[in-house]
Structure 1
Amino acid sequence: MKKVSSYSQAVNEWQWVIPQQFNMGVCICDAQDQSAIALIVPQKNRTQFEYTFGDLRKESNKLINLLLAYGVSQGDRVAILLPQKAETLIAHIACYRANFIAMPLAQLFGPDALEHRLTDSKASVVITDLAGCRKLDEVKQPLPNLKLILSLDGKNECTSNNIKDFYSEMSRARDIFEPVLTKSSDPALLIYTSGTTGNPKGALLPHRTMIGHIPGADFIFDFLPQPGDVMWTPADWAWIGALMDSAMPALYHGIPQVVNPPGRFDPEKAFDLMDNYGVRNAFIPPTALKVMRQVNEPRKNWNYNLRSMFSGGEALGTSLINWGREQLGVTINEAYGQTECNLIVGCCSSVMTPPDGSMGRAIPGHKLRILDDIGNSMPLGEIGNICVKSPDTVMFLKYWNNPEATKEKFITDSRGDQWLNTGDKARIDENGWLFFIGRADDVINSAGFRIGPAEVENSLLTHPAISMSGVVGVPDELRGELVKAFIVLKDNRMASDKLATEIQNHVKQRLSAHEFPRAIEFVDELPMTTTGKIQRRLLRNRNKH
């Protein structure tokens, strides 16, 4: 997307160009300057190891030839159970270029989560490390379709007979391969997404989803690419937000990106990494930003120089955005999407100033409406479902082996137009600004008032004692539901009844008398998904016991 001077100009000038034949791996690897730096891998003593695009192409060629030798065929699913590493992106690039289907799996998944995804997808290969092999050893059910496990750490003590050492196998493979000429509509990526009921569903995404993500990525990073841009995210590349909003757009634009070091997220190390490796563009989830905010006056200790940043997954709130301007030197752009139809709402601080509480406007190229459950448009300001008109370039093809769920994902309006129903609740104002309310099952109905947990959580975070908060509705005989807040305090604050009352009054005064949390529980941590979202369902279940 070229740099423009206004949102309306971006919308009016955007046009989709979707070739019939398109390969995601070719556009992010083969089409780039082969001598340009693609990946920066931090090493000890603040040094770095670099991969060029030519390196990625040769290594992906080796992996393709290796997998073909083991009988992997076009359309087979290749599971990638790895942290951020060069090998992770090499595996993705190999899958796309060979017309395999890449299936990223989160590092936090346990054996039961892995078992469902590997069984349902009938994956042929798992590329992983020692930690992943140990989890696979604990999978109870046989995986008859699994032909090969490639481990970056070799077999070690793991018991599976089909584990092979990744590096020794790669050393014998040829580094020449001609990419498969795929259609833009051919499947490329399978990502399992958890719903509120039932097992996770596999969202199957086509090669064209790469094209579909570009206007959104360019927008939320204040017009990628710009001279000197260097990308980084601490988020797991198994999450569509980290993979398709950060890693892949960087490759697509030929921008170097820093591979996040292994280990638990450390806010001081994050500041140091941005300083030492010249990070200019960052995607940092809200949870990580809240932890970074606890570092006192970081600009006095590190000389980072960010150009753009976005965050998504949970609402940020005004206080966190203000902190970003003061301590990070950027306006943090919010963005919204889901695995089935990602990056469809966002902000671009270069040309937009959202009202407080808004997550942005429709990304150029996407048509959104707020509809009820049967396809009627909601009046301005009224809460309804965030819906995206179908077809859409970024939209998924279907749920894997689940035609019924695919059908249920769409609703038809009175004109016969189909809309993908995200299942998320929002309202829209007269200027097109969207205000996120929550998942359908997250919205609290208290004494006739519909209350969005995100708004209450944002208000709580403006209190100086609070580090994190999760808000849910709990049963109440008088009101139907009342608002309950689970609160993690900052390290220097102690829980007390006096503090709970102070927090309640704070929200009552800042937000609304009907939205303040009538119940407060102080906790050490909040249950989070692998993508950094609060698991409100677990908070509700906790309240039942």
Structure 2
Amino acid sequence: MSHQESQPNLADYEQEYGSFEWDQLYAEADWSAPDELNIAHETVDRHAAATPERTALQYVGADGEEETVTFADLAAESNRFANVLDDLVDRGDRVFSYMPRVPEHYAALIGTLKTGAVWGSVNERFGPDGIAYRLDDCDAKVVVTTTGNRDTVAEAMEQIPSVEQVIVVDDAEGAARDGDLDYHEALADAADEFETVRTSGEDDALLYYTSGTTGPAKGVLHKHRWVAGVAATQQFAVDLRPGEDLYWSTGDLGWLTGPINTLGAWFWGTPLFTYEDEFDPEAWAKLLDDYPITVLFSVPTAYRMLREHESVLGGVDLDLRHALSIGEPLSAGVVEWGEETLGVTIHDTYGQTETGNMVINNYPSMELKPGSMGRPLPGVEAAVVDPETGEVLEPGETGEIAERGDYPCFFAGYWEKPDKTADCFVDGPDGEWYLSGDLGHVDEDGYFWFEGRADDVIISSGYRIGPFEVESALGEHPSVAEGAVVPKPDRQRGTIVKAYVRLVEGTEGTDDLKEDIKEHVRNELAAHEYPREIEFVDELPKTVTGKIRRTELRDRTEDPTAD
């Protein structure tokens, strides 16, 4: 039976959602009881014992270097790291990484969890101030990095009194500092056996920081029970088939999406593919041609760029059977492009650092409505609620997307910020809800539809306009690579919709083209939603995760002289 013909893991959404229990997942996975649970054991060591030669990680470096890491290899390497780390930290201490997608990064993650320490990571796109803030906020004790990143870490450490040790992986791009531990030298002298600390599902495991685009970043704490939730997502939404798939999740361990897909895949014993370098359409096309990658998980920006440069996919022999996206809603046009060019439907998923996982998804067995977020993960109760009263709204009514339940991925709280944690919850008539800060609505079929962040909605002439619909319509114009819309003050209407548009390469930005784009959006949507003003730009400002920084665009719109 081919991949395309085989039945999805979630064959009947309604039946599974109505009957799902978390104890059922534990039984199916034959894993330890939640009262004695360690993520490292569940994702690596039990597979190293049962199927030691199975591939855990297929690595391709920026220079084309290849390395295949088995579960036995990963267990032994992480044991060595744990033995080194065990002399440096106590249970519950924070260990952070700042490094690329290299095999040592994954071994450090698993090894840290084996010691009972708490793992966190900072994406390489952050500079010294971003590193310093996060490590200082949680009193991190150890940092794992590369020689190429060592100068940046050193600059950050001038502001951090808590860090006692830096462990450095030599990548031939920089130099270690006095007092650093050389990763490979230290591990060469360490034993390859280690007794994993007996943690419970309620012990601290992961500390990841929000991106902090609307205020200081907050540390989001997750427990070892977190792994049960990501296992469910990888089973139902990612639809992993152990023994069949090679799974390329393009996310970095510097964001929680990285551990979600890495550890979720390993929970089921599925090999993970990773590429060290940043996104490049031609390089990605070659990787998809050279390796039997069956499941691809990436972000809308990457899919949009592949679509813009789809000629690189000409002649590529794809093994894909499933593709997913997270970060921002996918437009219908990108979904259609995926079906025509990649041969698969790109399934949108939705989650936050606080929810620890993707909690609303489109599933392979379910009818897909392009542009929709999908439906809740089995085991998660989701609704659109009034953020003031917690009352569940009727289908079609706009409110705040909210979740609740005994879902093991829900965060344990913001690091040492109980007031901020409490602000995320509202007591409703039928119980408490976690408020996402995202606006949306549910349709008559139970599908969720994203309308934007609460502070992104545009009110013009009394109409509420969500940016996503307008931006999706912009993106379907043949001359538009991507666009973003924000409110612009207007004496008559209060505000109007202003669009910042990046054109397809080689397109001339003329006044006639602006009018044509306006007309296109007006025809796609409604007369009150089209952008009354368009500005062509070379690039759109984005967060380090690739999301459009509408806050910056709003500031620029209100003050045209602002940088």
Q: TM-score interval w.r.t. the shorter chain?
A: over 0.9
Question: How far apart are residue 377 of structure 1 and its match?
Answer: 1.6
Tell me the residue number matched to 1:188: 205
Question: How far apart are residue 218 of structure 1 and its match?
Answer: 2.1
Tell me the residue number matched to 1:224: 240
Matches within 5 A, 1:237-276: 237-244=253-260, 246-262=261-277, 264-276=278-290
- Secondary structure of residue in 2 paired with 1:355: coil
| 2:463 equivalent to 1:449 | yes
Equivalent residue pairs, number: 539
- Secondary structure of residue in 2 paired with 1:50: strand
Q: Normalization by structure 1: what TM-score?
A: 0.95
Q: Point out where structure 1 has 5 or more consecutive residues left out of the alignment.
A: none
Which range moves more in the overlay, 77-86 or 388-397?
A: 388-397
| 2:536 equivalent to 1:530 | no
| 2:422 equivalent to 1:407 | yes
Matches within 5 A, 1:268-307: 268-307=282-321
- Secondary structure of residue in 2 paired with 1:305: coil
- Secondary structure of residue in 2 paired with 1:204: strand
Gap change, CA 1:78 and 1:140, over 3 Å in 2: closer
Tell me the residue number matched to 2:251: 235
Tell me the residue number matched to 1:198: 215
| 2:525 equivalent to 1:511 | yes
Q: Within 2, Cα distance between the matches of 1:486 and 1:216? A: 35
Tell me the residue number matched to 1:63: 81
- Secondary structure of residue in 2 paired with 1:275: helix
Q: Which of 14, 39, 47 is 1:24 aligned to?
A: 39
Tell me the residue number matched to 1:501: 515
Matches within 5 A, 1:21-100: 21-32=36-47, 33-42=51-60, 48-69=66-87, 71-100=88-117
Matches within 5 A, 1:436-515: 436-515=450-529
Contact 2:541 2:549 in 1 (8 A): yes
Amino acid of the residue matched to residue 444 of structure 2?
Answer: E
Q: Within 1, Cα distance between the matches of 2:8 and 2:314? A: 35
RMSD: 2.0
| 2:19 equivalent to 1:13 | yes
Tell me the residue number matched to 2:184: 167
Tell me the residue number matched to 1:364: 378
Contact 2:148 2:171 in 1 (8 A): no
Q: Within 2, Cα distance between the matches of 1:297 and 1:488? A: 20
Q: Deviations over 1:208-238 (max 9, x none)?
A: 11111222222222x2225420011333222
Contact 2:10 2:236 in 1 (8 A): no
Gap change, CA 1:130 and 1:523, over 3 Å in 2: farther
Q: Within 1, Cα distance between the matches of 2:284 and 2:179? A: 38
Question: How far apart are residue 156 of structure 1 and its match?
Answer: 8.1
Contact 1:187 1:205 in 2 (8 A): yes
Contact 2:85 2:112 in 1 (8 A): no
Question: How far apart are residue 43 of structure 1 and its match?
Answer: 5.5
Q: Within 2, Cα distance between the matches of 1:48 and 1:140? A: 33
Amino acid of the residue matched to residue 38 of structure 2?
Answer: N
Q: Within 1, Cα distance between the matches of 2:123 and 2:361? A: 25
Contact 1:220 1:309 in 2 (8 A): no
Gap change, CA 1:215 and 1:493, over 3 Å in 2: same
Q: Within 1, Cα distance between the matches of 2:332 and 2:380? A: 26
Identity of aligned residues (%): 35
Q: Within 2, Cα distance between the matches of 1:232 and 1:487? A: 31
Contact 1:137 1:158 in 2 (8 A): no
Gap change, CA 1:5 and 1:526, over 3 Å in 2: same
Q: Which of 125, 145, 151 is 2:162 aligned to?
A: 145
Q: Deviations over 1:246-295 (max 9, x none)?
A: 21222111111111132x31111111101111111111100011110122
Q: Within 1, Cα distance between the matches of 2:63 and 2:514? A: 45
Which range moves more in the overlay, 513-522 or 139-148?
A: 139-148
- Secondary structure of residue in 2 paired with 1:313: coil
Q: Within 1, Cα distance between the matches of 2:463 and 2:494? A: 10
Tell me the residue number matched to 1:378: 393
Q: Within 2, Cα distance between the matches of 1:453 and 1:403? A: 32
Q: Which of 120, 144, 161 is 1:103 aligned to?
A: 120
Tell me the residue number matched to 2:232: 215
Q: Normalization by structure 2: what TM-score?
A: 0.92
Amino acid of the residue matched to residue 427 of structure 2?
Answer: T
Gap change, CA 1:308 and 1:356, over 3 Å in 2: closer
Gap change, CA 1:140 and 1:214, over 3 Å in 2: closer
Q: Deviations over 1:95-153 (max 9, x none)?
A: 21211110011110011111110100100011011343221222275322101111112
Q: Within 1, Cα distance between the matches of 2:455 and 2:102? A: 36
Q: Which of 347, 353, 359 is 1:333 aligned to?
A: 347
